[in-house]
Structure 1
Amino acid sequence: MRRYLASALVFAVLALGSLDLAAQADVGSAPVSTDRVVLWASTGDIKSRNLYYGPGGKEHFPKGPMKFLREDSEGASPKFDVSDPSGEKWRAKLGIDSDLKVEDMPRHLRRGQNFVGPGGDVKNVRLQRHAAGGKKVGTWSWRHNPFYRTREFNGLRIMMALISNWDLKDENNAVYDDKISPGHKFYEVSDLGASFGMNGKSYTDGLSKNNLKAYRHSKFISKVTPEYVDFNFPTHPPFLYVFNFPFFFGQLHMHWIGKHIPRADARWLGSLLAQLSPEQIRDAFRAANYSPPQVEAYAAAVQDRIAALEKL
């Protein structure tokens, strides 16, 4: 089973310190409360992080067989919830190369064609278990959240640019209750499926997402001033998308996320990421089942971007 590279990488490199604040903004439809909300939680020395098995470690590696629970029809990619023999719940998402559309899922589930193979196998699936381990209670907004303008929040913005995750709709962000520490809520970017391709929506998904050549040749930093840095991210979609009014202007409204970020915050994140060894970065791509040449090329591109942050 193919694990979700981008989420594992982001979690591993951002979970190096803590930012634990009282809620100041709405969480989905839930009322404002005095719950503690967490964007960034310490997990120890970054040099000791295992990017192959991810934040759960080898002992929490998903084990089958999996039991289908329910489908999720939101978003652009087919996804559904499953549980393992121990009762742990996982989010399963089909790879971006699949030609199965969300609207086709019920039909495919009934007929078992191009979705469930012989013996109940589903190929090219990525499994994700969110860090909090609790129930999803809402979404959060890039513009309105308890962490806005903090160094750690800016670090998250930069990470989105580093992995070229251009699909930054608020619906792709999730808030979870922490079942281990009641009263805590975890804020996550829960859908990173538009990563490691171009810096914005292109004419096809094949260029926009998971495209090594596009990722390597995409410009990372567009402007540097004495105090701030602009990333070449997210770029505007092709003009033909103007006929899809909600999508086109939705993308334009996300443009600020990669702009006007304090250089000091970018250097701070770069100093953290620079602690990752080349082997750790390669492990993240190996875990996503890339070929050896792809592993080397993607890892080199990521290291180049980290070096650019350090130089700011």
Structure 2
Amino acid sequence: MSQKILVIADHHDGQLLDATGRAVTCAADIGGDIDVLVLAHDGQAIADEAAKLAGIANVHLVNNAANEHAVAAILAPQIVAFAQNGGYSHVLGPNTTFGKDLMPRVAALADVAMVTDIMAVHGPYEFDRPIYAGNAITTVQAPDAQMLVASVRCASYGAAEKTGSAAVAAATVEAELPTHTRFVGLEQAKSDRPDLQTAPKVISGGRGVGSEENFRIVYDFADKIGAAVGASRAAVDAGYVPNDMQVGQTGKIISPELYMCFGISGAIQHLAGIKDAGTIVAINKDPEAPIFELADIGLVGDLFEIIPALDAAVS
């Protein structure tokens, strides 16, 4: 039986996010026809960008004033109605903040089981996913007699190439939208630095940085090499940086080509968030720090001496 897969587009400020392309790559591993659903207020530019993703058959654009803000309670009924009417066998979303909020609600409304954090595909309904903070991998078999709702572990997949030319079609969805949930406002950190979850280079600091003021040395070095900036939970809890910078099991799961961490000991929760990184470079004063067990390159030393030396070397 051929699969018919619907990927939910993750977008922000009128731009398609890289996570959507990663979910498309996972969908290609499952096999079958792949469509993308864009739910927006005015999403033509987003849909046109999604149409460039390789392997996409169609992009369906649902423009609705109710979709101006990505409120899961508003989007989920539309996704369920569209997927059921379209006869989709799979509905996939990225495991970003957007997807983690949305996809469980989709599964609940559709009254089906959900598979979270797909990291490898063995068959249309058989997948690997991480458990125990990423320290073990389990293979799960989902029922094939019903629609499968799943989230894709973005760190495990590269984004689909933008070599496609899929058709974009306007669509309408007949779904009863809830009135008990409404958008009130958005508070978010803004930065000119690369996005932490998709950047090819990430520089992180931990408790060893010492203070919010001292974190400036990490920011400056990251800016020098064009890297995103992350942090350990200990640094976040200490108030050095905002929590949207947290990397780890309870923060962002990332897979940069280069990950450099300064003053991070390597708690298991942090290691769970960086295991898929290409090259891990760790700098810590403690030679027994657990981070060195995972690092490809380890340097025992004072970060306040090493960062200026690295800065000078790349000047």
User: TM-score w.r.t. structure 1 length?
Assistant: 0.24
Structure number having the greater helix percentage: 1
More contact order relative to length (CA 8 Å, sep ≥ 6): 1
Give the structure with higher Rg (CA): 2
